[in-house]
Amino acid sequence: MVESRRIVELVADPYPPYQFKKNNEVTGVDYEIVIQAFQAAGIEAHVQLFPWEKSITLMENREADGIFQIMRSAERERLFIFSDILRVAKTVFFKKAPLGISFDPVLDIGIQLKKNKIGVVAGYSYGPFIDNLEESKKIEEHSQKALLTGLVKEWYRLALMDVGVGTYLIKELGRDDIVRVDGFEIERELFIAFQKDGHQLVQEFNAGLYKIRKSGLFKRTFIGYGLEPLGI
Domain boundaries, the chain: 2-87+189-224, 89-186
> CATH class for domain 2-87+189-224?
alpha beta
For the whole model, what pTM was predicted?
A: 0.76
Strands (E), 16-86: 20-22, 25-27, 44-49, 66-70, 80-82
For the CA atoms of 218, 183, 187, 40, the dihedral, rounded to the nearest 10 degrees, stands at -10
Are 29 and 37 within 8 A, CB to CB?
Answer: no
Average pLDDT estimate for 162-184: 88
Helix (H, G, I), strand (E, B) or coil at 213: helix
Distance CA 205, CA 2 (A): 13
Are 197 and 1 within 8 A, CB to CB?
Answer: yes
5, pLDDT greater than 60? no
Q: What is the pLDDT of residues 20-53, one digit of tens each?
A: 999 999 999 999 999 999 999 999 999 999 988 8
Average pLDDT estimate for 152-181: 89
Q: What confidence category does residue 132 fall into, taking pLDDT thresholds of 50, 70 and 90?
A: confident
232, pLDDT greater than 70? no
Q: What is the pLDDT of residues 195-225, one digit of tens each?
A: 999 999 999 999 999 999 999 999 999 999 8
Identical fold for domains 2-87+189-224 and 89-186, yes or no, is yes
100, pLDDT greater than 90? no
Residue-level pLDDT at 113: 76
Average pLDDT of the chain is 89
Strands (E), 36-155: 44-49, 66-70, 80-82, 87-96, 118-121, 138-141
- Highest mean predicted confidence (pLDDT) among 41-50, 87-96, 152-161: 41-50
Domain 89-186 falls under CATH 3.40.190.10: yes
User: Which tops the pLDDT comparison, 169 or 104?
Assistant: 169
80, pLDDT greater than 90? yes
19, pLDDT greater than 90? yes
% pLDDT > 70, the chain: 96
